[in-house]
Amino acid sequence: MLLSIDKVEKRFPVSRGLLGRPNAFVKALDGVSLDLGAGEIVGIVGESGCGKSTLGRCAVGLYEPSGGRIAWDGQDLAKMGVSQRRQSQRRFQMVFQNPFASLNPRQKVREILTETLEVHSLLTSRERTTFAADLLGKVGLAQGDLAKYPHEFSGGQRQRIGIARALAGKPELIVMDEPVSSLDVSVQASILNMLSQWNQSQKISYLFISHDLQVVGYISDRVIVMYLGKIVEEGITAEVLKKPRHPYTKILLAASEGKKIKVKGEPPSPVNPPSGCAFHTRCPYAEKKCREENQALTPEGSLWKVACWKWEQV
């Protein structure tokens, strides 16, 4: 398995006591598990604050998990030495939501795209420039853009540069964190088509993070729905979109289709989450059991899993 995430937790301190010790935490991830194989596209969907971006950063080693295990190609990330992790990071890259914030404004595009090659001592200086020009062509930009700075490009063009930078190390997996959310619909479609073509031609795997089920539905093979740090539904994308089993997935799907749907209450605090199922405070199907006991993903071992006591009635 290219990427294995097993019961991963991630806590962030939100307040500290007199001695500077954390006395309150946000549990951004609460026992999340997933596997991603070579050439597979897995979508992660959920509203802001559900933990999907934190999961992506943990997956590529930008965050250290508070618990659980992450393995790259069967090797435990926590047990890798500095040199081994540095070499492996070429294979596991990330594209961020805000390309302008993630691109160094003082670097020209040539430097941005060849930085990875320099760090790993790959190719000669001339070969790196040729390689960078080829990358720009692959993402629909011109060779002359190598001499420009990030501020000279539109948002869609900057996102293409961010994707080209991720491709520079010839990765096997790219974590995409909301890569098209801030772009026009036409630009979104162009980038999604480009990513899909590379997946098919080069077998690059994606962990594709988004708040939009329609976008995830277009590009992903499997979809994972997260709520308050937990996975609440997981399955083949087409099947989940056709008949979602979890009430929260139904709400996300309705929102992505532009339908108006009433949801009671507000999202609970991640610092002090409710007992039982975290969604019960907003769920129209909630009953006493939902408030008292959390349902784990079920049925175990199936391709379609859901964490809901009432899923057969949804």
SS3 297: coil
Average pLDDT over residues 70-91: 86
Query: DSSP for 151-176?
Result: GGS-HHHHHHHHHHHHHTT--SEEEE
Cβ count within 10 A of residue 281 = 17
Kindly indicate the confidence band of residue 301, based on its pLDDT and cuts at 50, 70 and 90. low
Of 112-121, 218-227, 246-255, least confident by mean pLDDT is 112-121
Task: Return the pLDDT at 3.
Answer: 95
Radius of gyration of the chain (CA): 21
Task: Return the pLDDT at 138.
Answer: 84
Task: Return the pLDDT at 172.
Answer: 92
Angle, helix 185-202 to helix 155-167, in steps of 10 degrees: 10
Sheet containing 67-72, strands listed edge to edge, beginning at the edge strand earlier in sequence: 22-36, 3-16, 67-72, 75-76
Task: Return the pLDDT at 314.
Answer: 64
Percent of the chain with pLDDT over 70: 96
Mean model confidence pLDDT for the chain: 87
pTM: 0.90
pLDDT, one tens digit per residue, over 153-185 is 988 889 889 988 888 888 899 999 998 887 788
Tokens describing residue 104: 């160094």
- Superfamily grouping for domain 3-91+171-313: P-loop containing nucleotide triphosphate hydrolases (3.40.50.300)
Q: How many residues does the chain have?
A: 314
Task: Return the pLDDT at 129.
Answer: 87
> Does residue 99 carry a pLDDT above 80?
no
Kindly list the domain boundaries of the chain, sorted by start residue: 3-91+171-313
Cβ count within 10 A of residue 198 = 17
> Does residue 35 carry a pLDDT above 70?
yes
> Does residue 17 carry a pLDDT above 70?
no
Tokens describing residue 101: 């914030």
Give CA–CA dist 45/16, Å, rounded: 31
Of 14-23, 81-90, 186-195, 242-251, least confident by mean pLDDT is 14-23
- The phi, psi pair for 46, rounded to 5°, reads 165, 160
Give CA–CA dist 225/308, Å, rounded: 13
Q: Where are the beta strands (DSSP E) in the chain?
A: 3-16, 22-36, 41-45, 67-72, 75-76, 92-95, 173-177, 205-210, 222-227, 230-236, 305-306
Maximum alpha-carbon separation in the chain: 68
Task: Return the pLDDT at 54.
Answer: 96
Query: Both ends of the chain: CA-CA distance in Å?
Result: 33
> Does residue 233 carry a pLDDT above 90?
yes
